[in-house]
C-alpha cells in the first residue's frame, strides 16, 4: 500500500470546508445537493459505492403524482415533478413519455376513479371512455375496461441513466464535490469521519436509503422501518407496442393511498381479494412504462422483512405478467420475451417519510413509501431546512 498517497488523499479531503456534506448519492441525496446549491451552499456528496446502485436506479423512473397519499405527500410529488422538469433538460436527461393511464376494469374500480376525480387531486385529470382511451393508444390494443383515468402530471425517465447523469451534472455544472467509494463512519460536526479521511462541514444531511444499520441505527430502529423487496422485469413484446404514457390497472387503486384511502375503495378491495387474492398477497400491482428502444419495464411485487429478500420468484413474475396480459394483451402475448429480471428494494414504514435531527446541524431522512423519485426534491428541501435549523 502506498501510505503517502493515502495520507495525501486524507489531507486533501480535510483541506476543504463545506457548508453541507450529504451522505448518500441516491436520488434523495442528489436532490438534497441540488437544493443546497440553489441556496448557494458549498456541497460535498459522499457515497460508499462506486456509483448509485440502490433503489434509485432499480425502479421505473416514474415520477408519480396521481395516487400519492393525499395532502402533504401529494404536494411533495407535484413540487418534485416540477423540479425534474427544470433539471432534466439541463442535465441531458430525456423525458421518455409523460402522463398516466389507469384502466378501470370493474364497476368498483370505476367508482374509485370517479371519487378520486371529485377530490382536489383530480384537478387536470380526465375520465375517458374505452373508445377515447383506445384512440390515444392507436394500434396498440388495450384489454377490456369500463373507463380510464388519465393524468397529465407524471413524467418518465430511464432511472439507470438519469441518476448517473444527475450526479455528473451536479459535479460539472453545479460545483458539487463527490467522494465515491467512501464510507462515512460517523458525524460529529464540524467533522465527518470517512474511510478516506475527514471532511469538515457546518451541516450534514444523511440519506441512507435502505442502508438501515450504518449511521444512527437506533433512531432508524425506533421508526420501525422494514425492507420491501420487489420484482421487476423488462419485456420485449413480439409485436411493437406504443405507450403514450405509463399504464396502471385496478390493483393500483388498492395500493396507492391517494385512491385506497377513499371510502369507495373498500368494495373494490373486497372483490379483488376474491378474484386476485394471490396478487394481493404478493403485493402485486401493475405499472408499465416504455423505454426509448420500445421495450417495456413491468412490475412489481412487494415482500416485507427485516432484510432484502435476495431471491426472486418465478411464480411472482408470472402474477405480474398475468396482469400485464389482462391490461395490455399485445405486450404479454405469445412470443413476448423477458430480457431482464431484477429485484429492487426500499425502506418501508407506516408513514411515507421519516426524518429526524439526531444532533445539531444534522438531518437524517428516508423516503419510506417507495416514492423516492417522485417526492425526492420536496423532501430534500425539508431535510435541508432541518439541518440548517430554518
Question: For residue range 151-174, what is the model confidence (pLDDT) as tens digits?
Answer: 999 999 999 999 999 999 999 999
The string of pLDDT tens digits covering residues 52-96 is: 888 888 888 889 999 999 999 999 999 999 999 999 999 999 999
Mean of the per-residue pLDDT values of the chain: 93
Q: Which long-range contacts (CB under 8 A, 24 or more apart) does 308-311 make?
A: 308/210, 308/227, 308/229, 308/343, 308/345, 309/227, 309/229, 309/343, 310/343
CATH number at residue 145: 3.30.9.10
pLDDT of 7: 43
Cell numbers linked to 156: 418518465
Three cell numbers at 315?
Answer: 411464480
Residue 97, beta-bridge partner list: 156
Per-residue pLDDT tens digits for 315-363: 999 999 999 999 999 887 778 899 999 998 899 998 999 999 999 999 9
pLDDT at 180 over 80: yes
Count of domains observed in the chain = 1
Question: What is the pLDDT averaged over residues 201-230?
Answer: 93
What is the span of the domain harbouring residue 335?
3-388
The residue to which cell 405478467 is assigned: 321
Q: Can you read off the three cell numbers belonging to residue 190?
A: 464540524
Render pLDDT for 90-133 as a digit per residue (tens, 0 to 9): 999 999 999 999 999 999 999 999 999 999 999 999 999 999 99
What is the three-class DSSP state of 305?
strand
Provide the pLDDT for residue 196.
Answer: 95
Predicted local confidence at residue 54, as pLDDT: 82
Instruction: Answer whether 153's CB lies under 8 Å from 120's CB.
Output: no
Report how far apart, in Å, the C-alpha atoms of 275 and of each of 110, 138, 213, 301 are: 17, 30, 39, 17
Amino acid at each position: 500500500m502506498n501510505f503517502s498517497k493515502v495520507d495525501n488523499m486524507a489531507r486533501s479531503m480535510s483541506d476543504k470546508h463545506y457548508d453541507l456534506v450529504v451522505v448518500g448519492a441516491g436520488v434523495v441525496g442528489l436532490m438534497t445537493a441540488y437544493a443546497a446549491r440553489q441556496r448557494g451552499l458549498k456541497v460535498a456528496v459522499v457515497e460508499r459505492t462506486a456509483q448509485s446502485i440502490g433503489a434509485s436506479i432499480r425502479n421505473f423512473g416514474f415520477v408519480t403524482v396521481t395516487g400519492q397519499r393525499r395532502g402533504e405527500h401529494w404536494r411533495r410529488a407535484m413540487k418534485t415533478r416540477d423540479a425534474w422538469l427544470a433539471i432534466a433538460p439541463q442535465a441531458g436527461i430525456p423525458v421518455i413519455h409523460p402522463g398516466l393511464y389507469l384502466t378501470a376494469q370493474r364497476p368498483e374500480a370505476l367508482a374509485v376513479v370517479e371519487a378520486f376525480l371529485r377530490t382536489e387531486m383530480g384537478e387536470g385529470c380526465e375520465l375517458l371512455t374505452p373508445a377515447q382511451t383506445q384512440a390515444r393508444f392507436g394500434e396498440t390494443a388495450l384489454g377490456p375496461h369500463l373507463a380510464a383515468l388519465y393524468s397529465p402530471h407524471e413524467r418518465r425517465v430511464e432511472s439507470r441513466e438519469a441518476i448517473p447523469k444527475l450526479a455528473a451534472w451536479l459535479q460539472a455544472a453545479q460545483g458539487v464535490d463527490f467522494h465515491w467509494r467512501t464510507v462515512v463512519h460517523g458525524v460529529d460536526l464540524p467533522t465527518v469521519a470517512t474511510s478516506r479521511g475527514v471532511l469538515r462541514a457546518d451541516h450534514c444531511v444523511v440519506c441512507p436509503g435502505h442502508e438501515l444499520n450504518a449511521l444512527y441505527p437506533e433512531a432508524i430502529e425506533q421508526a420501525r422501518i422494514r425492507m420491501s423487496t420487489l420484482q421487476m422485469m423488462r419485456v420485449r413484446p413480439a409485436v411493437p407496442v406504443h405507450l403514450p404514457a405509463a399504464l396502471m390497472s385496478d390493483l393500483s387503486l388498492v395500493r396507492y393511498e391517494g385512491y385506497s384511502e377513499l371510502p369507495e375503495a373498500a368494495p373494490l378491495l373486497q372483490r379483488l381479494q376474491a378474484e386476485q387474492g394471490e396478487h394481493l398477497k404478493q403485493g402485486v400491482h401493475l405499472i408499465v412504462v416504455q423505454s426509448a428502444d420500445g421495450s417495456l419495464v413491468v412490475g412489481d411485487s412487494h415482500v416485507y422483512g427485516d432484510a432484502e429478500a435476495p431471491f426472486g420468484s418465478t411464480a411472482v413474475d408470472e402474477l405480474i405478467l398475468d396482469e400485464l396480459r389482462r391490461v395490455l394483451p399485445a405486450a404479454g402475448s405469445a412470443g413476448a420475451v423477458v430480457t431482464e429480471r431484477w429485484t429492487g428494494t426500499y425502506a418501508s414504514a407506516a408513514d411515507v417519510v421519516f426524518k429526524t435531527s439526531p444532533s445539531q446541524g444534522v438531518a437524517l431522512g428516508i423516503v419510506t413509501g417507495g416514492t423516492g423519485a417522485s417526492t425526492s426534491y420536496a423532501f430534500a428541501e425539508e431535510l435541508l431546512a432541518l439541518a440548517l435549523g430554518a
